[in-house]
Amino acid sequence: MKKKVTQMDTLKKVLGYLKAYRFLMVLSILFATATVALTLYIPILIGQAIDKIVGPGQVDLPGIWRILVTGGVIILATSALQWMMNIINNKITYQVIRDVRNEAFEKLQILPLKYIDDNPSGEIVSRIIADVDQFADGLLIGFTQLFTGVATIIGTLIFMLTLNIPITIVVFLLTPLSLFVARFIATHTYSMFRLQSETRAEQTSLVDEVIGDQKVVQAFSMEKETMDRFDAINERLEKCSLKAIFFSSITNPGTRFVNSVVYAAVALTGALFAVQGWITVGGLSSFLNYANQYTKPFNDISSVITELQSALACASRIFELIEEPAQVPDDADAATLTDASGQVSLSDVCFSYSKDKPLIENLNLDVRSGQRIAIVGPTGCGKTTLINLLMRFYDVDAGQIRVDGTDIRHLTRKSLRGSYGMVLQDTWLKNGTIRENIAMGRPDASDEEIVAAARASYADSFIRRLPNGYDTVIKEDGGSLSQGQKQLLCISRVMLCLPPMLILDEATSSIDTRTEIKISQAFERLMKGRTSFIVAHRLSTIREADVILVMKDGHIIEQGDHETLLQKNGFYATLYNSQNL
């Protein structure tokens, strides 16, 4: 069970990222202090100016002029310092955001496949993009308000103490009321903003899913159901957002009320002191200015509590991703699989995606080098899971999978996966040229080798008809290419790499019958001398397999070649006959 992450835990993690920018933070604090000191000196000048015009015939114009010139210089210096401070604060903020995003994306590369399977891609995208953006906004506001605010509070107290200690004590005693109001509301809004962030991620996930599978939505006439799901999430987002913002918005008027009480108390006390001659009119004017300056940071801080709470809630979600356990790294002494002969064995293999739902139990299999192993069975029987285990996308819960006599957990993942060539029903393409997509497994391949691989897979003819041939740029979804053409490109990759072992999962499912016959002939040549695992639903395509494994509920219930299994008149014979009525 995961430990509940508190707001303070998240704040400590944020401070950990800020450590790398100590120098810039010190500069920001120095500029903030200087800005505040100069700003707070202005009321002193105003008070002095007022004292120079207290009575008839007592106006000191030269003195007032000197004060105005001094004030102008101070204002220009303050503006310059504030400009530099803002540049530094922006630099710190966006460097921290860069570091967080880099770390999150790096973690994404080493997360176990289980995490990707269990979490919608839209939610992961929302964490890395939307949540980090929200975190950046809050962090920038925090820098801008925090340093200046704290320096203003301390500086104002010092200036007020130099003017009149009793009135300063009145201000100091009333101030905690403002702090209490701000803290009380802040502690109660964090959970609300976290719920808002989670609901927004759920909405992003649904939008991402619908856009990616729009054809499926329309094919099954699911438009209304999809709209209903979106409306339901949107309504929940509206409610939790309004609740969070409503409660956080109480902070500002609450603290302003307390600050008005402080200002009134200072004015009343100061007036009594002025009547007694214990403070000048100019001094009282300066003090009232300071009382306003002193309470202003509390107003500023309370006014951005909404952003800060939302930012910390978003930060906690991105930190959850960063702190997810990475996949088990390769052993320090892991061997590199080279020139694999293709001998594969599974001994008492057990595996399940969920501990309370057993899938594969005590699976045993011995595959000799060069054999063609076909895997058939109903949906959910474990065919794709077996492929995931062979490629070590998942590790077995018990038992062993060995390649060339070595447990695959003692081999480097890169060398193991590099020894397999995979063609799946779902195509893998990237943004780039046709040439780059074919050469993905062998970036150093020559143009002649790429063209030869495309010819072997019967993709060369349609590639040459494209506007720029092999230099035509396609997107991740293949753009205007048909599903069959995309699958031919994936087959070309395997033809280019010629790995010692093959995994073909409905490799020709999207190809027309005429091309499928030619591809099957190409695969016949490719599979010769190579260990091949063929997952197929159309049993007519696997009659030439050396061994056919019939799986059901995670177990191999029948095993043999096509003719032998038909003679048994068992589960395989039933499946085959149902497809050939």
- What domains are there in the chain, each with its CATH number? 19-322 (1.20.1560.10), 344-579 (3.40.50.300)
> Per-residue DSSP letters for 487-540?
HHHHHHHHHHH--SEEEEESTTTTS-HHHHHHHHHHHHHHHTTSEEEEE-SSGG
Residues 416-434 have a mean pLDDT of 85
**pLDDT digits over 59-108, tens only?**
677 777 888 888 888 889 988 988 998 888 888 888 888 898 999 899 98
Cα four-point dihedral sign 292, 298, 301, 302: negative
Structure tokens at 581: 């009525």
pLDDT top residue among 279 and 568: 568
Q: What is the pLDDT of residues 105-142, one digit of tens each?
A: 999 888 888 888 888 777 888 888 888 888 887 777 77
Distance CA 386, CA 382 (A): 6
Which distant-in-sequence residues (6+ apart) come within 8 Å of 418 by Cβ?
337, 499
Q: What is the pLDDT of residue 540?
A: 66
Tokens of 52: 């120079």
Residue 335 three-state SS: strand
Question: Closest Cα to residue 550, out of 324, 373, 388, 432?
Answer: 373
User: Are 557 and 571 contacting, i.e. CB atoms less than 8 angstroms apart?
Assistant: yes
Q: How many residues does the chain have?
A: 581
pLDDT tens readout for residues 488-520: 888 888 888 888 898 888 766 666 777 677 777
Distances (CA, A) of 215 to 24, 212, 219, 220, 474: 51, 8, 6, 9, 20
161 vs 24: CA distance, rounded Å: 31
For 458, other C-beta atoms within 10 Å of its C-beta total: 20
Q: What is the pLDDT of residue 304?
A: 64
CA dist 426 and 554 (Å) reads: 23
How are strands ordered across the β-sheet holding 372-376? 420-423, 501-505, 531-535, 372-376, 547-552, 555-560
CA-to-CA separations, 374 to 90, 547, 565, in angstroms, rounded? 59, 6, 13
Calpha distance 520→538 (Å, rounded): 13
**pLDDT on residue 448:** 92
Q: How confident is the model at residue 303 (pLDDT cuts 50, 70, 90)?
A: low
Q: For 213, which DSSP code?
A: T
pTM (predicted TM-score): 0.67
Mean pLDDT of 275-283: 74
* 82-86, 273-277, 362-366, 481-485: least confidently modelled range: 273-277
Count the Cβ atoms, other than its own, within 10 Å of residue 276: 8
Q: Would you state the pLDDT for residue 579?
A: 67
Placement of tokens 């893998």 in the chain? 428
State yes or no: pLDDT of 1 exceeds 50.
Answer: no
Whole-number pLDDT of residue 449: 92
Question: What is the spatial distance between Cα 79 and Cα 441, in angstroms, rounded to a whole number?
Answer: 57
Q: What is the DSSP string of 97-108?
A: HHHHHHHHHHHH
Q: Which two tokens stand for residue 556?
A: 């191999």
For residues 39 and 257, give the distance between their C-alpha atoms in angstroms, rounded to a whole number: 24
- Whether the per-residue pLDDT at 535 is higher than 80: the answer is yes
Query: What secondary structure letter does DSSP report for 563?
Result: H
The mean-pLDDT minimum among 100-109, 239-248, 536-545 falls in 536-545
In this structure, the dihedral spanned by the alpha carbons of residues 275, 279, 280 and 282, taken in order and rounded to 10 degrees, is -120
What Cα–Cα distance (Å) separates residue 22 from each residue in 25, 85, 527? 5, 14, 60
pLDDT for 242? 84
**Among 317, 319, 302, 314, residue whose Cα is nearest residue 252:** 302
In this prediction, residues 185-197 reach a mean pLDDT of: 72
- The CA-based dihedral angle spanning residues 49, 50, 51, 55, taken in that order and rounded to the nearest 10 degrees: 120
Backbone angles phi, psi at 205, to 5 degrees: -60, -45
- Residue 357 DSSP class: B
